[in-house]
């Protein structure tokens, strides 16, 4: 693995406008172009052809992908990571607590945050044929608390935001685009509180920590459409 090409490319190219493509599968994956670097946030579990299509819409090829940033190691977010790695050689970045699950190729379903979602969890575990397994993959870079993507030529940072899972991370690009995985769901009017979380105390603390970044304009969740900072702030005040 080498990150030199990423570093030196930014030295000789002017920054360009950040472009973002949402790829809808069982969960959202996002294709991002920033400072002439092409990377993904999560991989989804859908057809690779959809990722190739999103790349073409940015006048790129899937082979141009340089990074895959994993917001957390649940199967619907990482099912395609190994395939994409094989196609592109992209560097995989994840939280250090995600490594055991990624190497094992399996994660358990999280707890619900309401009576409804606890019942949903129960029935999913009881009847679903999906056991949360995926093709094992080895991450290249592991983060703990904060990681500066400027080291790779990208205008952004990674932040640990435990709660939904211990390995959850947020990706903040250009200080205004925030990708949060399943730390927020945008499925219901009036709230973006997630249906599932293994530790709600940690989750609420992570939400509080995100309020320290008031320049954020848009939040990109793992489920549902992107939404405004204002919607998040209203949900935060409710909890």
Number of structural domains in the chain: 1
30 lies in some domain: yes
Neighbours of 218 (CB within 10 A): 15
| Mean pLDDT, the chain, integer | 91
Q: What is the pLDDT of residue 75?
A: 95
* pLDDT reported for residue 11: 39
| Length in residues, the chain | 239
Q: Which residue range(s) make up the domain with 175?
A: 4-107+138-238
Residue where the block lists tokens 């919607």: 231
65-96 tens-digit pLDDT? 999 999 999 999 999 999 999 999 999 999 99
Q: Tell me what percent of the residues of the chain surpass a pLDDT of 70.
A: 91
Does residue 115 sit within a domain? Answer: no
Judge whether 114 lies within some domain.
Answer: no
- 116 within domain boundaries: no
Query: What is the spatial distance between Cα 166 and Cα 173, in angstroms, rounded to a whole number?
Result: 22
Predicted pLDDT at 3: 47
In a domain, 229, yes or no: yes
pLDDT of residue 123: 76
Whether 122 is covered by a domain: the verdict is no
Task: Return d(Cα 137, Cα 118) in angstroms, integer.
Answer: 30
pLDDT value at residue 109 = 82
Under the banding of pLDDT at 50, 70 and 90, the label for residue 2 is very low
List, for residues 113-165, the tens digit of each pLDDT value: 989 888 877 777 666 667 789 999 999 999 999 999 999 999 999 999 999 99
Amino acid 128: pLDDT: 67
Question: How far are the Cα atoms of 7, 64, 69, 110, 148 from residue 13, in angstroms, in the given order?
Answer: 11, 16, 23, 43, 19
* Distance between CA atoms of residues 73 and 167, nearest Å: 7
CATH code assigned at 63: 3.60.15.10
Write down the pLDDT at residue 44.
96
Model confidence over 24-33: pLDDT tens digits? 999 999 999 9
pLDDT above 80 (res 62): yes
Residue 130 forms part of a structural domain: no
Strands 156-160 and 146-148: antiparallel
Give per-residue pLDDT as tens, 166-179: 999 999 999 999 99
pLDDT at 10 over 90: no
Higher pLDDT, 20 or 109: 20
Is position 120 within any domain? no
């Amino acid at each position: 693995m080498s990150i030199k090409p990423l570093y030196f490319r930014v030295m000789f190219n002017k920054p360009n406008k950040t472009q973002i493509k949402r790829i809808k599968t069982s969960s959202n994956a996002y294709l991002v172009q920033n400072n002439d670097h092409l990377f993904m946030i999560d991989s989804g579990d859908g057809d690779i052809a959809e990722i190739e299509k999103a790349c073409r819409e940015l006048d790129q090829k899937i082979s141009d992908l340089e990074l895959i940033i994993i917001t957390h190691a649940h199967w619907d977010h990482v099912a395609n990571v190994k395939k994409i790695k094989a196609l592109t050689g992209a560097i995989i970045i994840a939280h250090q607590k995600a490594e055991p699950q990624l190497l094992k190729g399996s994660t358990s379903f999280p707890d619900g945050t309401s009576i409804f979602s606890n019942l949903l969890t129960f029935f999913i575990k009881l009847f679903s044929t999906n056991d949360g397994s995926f093709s094992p993959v080895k991450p290249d870079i592991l983060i703990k608390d904060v990681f500066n993507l400027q080291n790779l030529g990208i205008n952004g940072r990674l932040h640990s935001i435990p709660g939904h899972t211990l390995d959850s991370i947020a990706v903040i690009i250009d200080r205004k685009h925030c990708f949060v995985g399943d730390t927020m769901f945008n499925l219901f009017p009036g709230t973006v509180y997630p249906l599932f979380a293994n530790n709600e105390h940690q989750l609420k603390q992570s939400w509080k920590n995100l309020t320290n970044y008031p320049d954020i304009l848009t939040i990109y969740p793992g489920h549902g459409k992107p939404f405004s900072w204002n919607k998040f702030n209203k949900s935060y005040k409710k909890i």
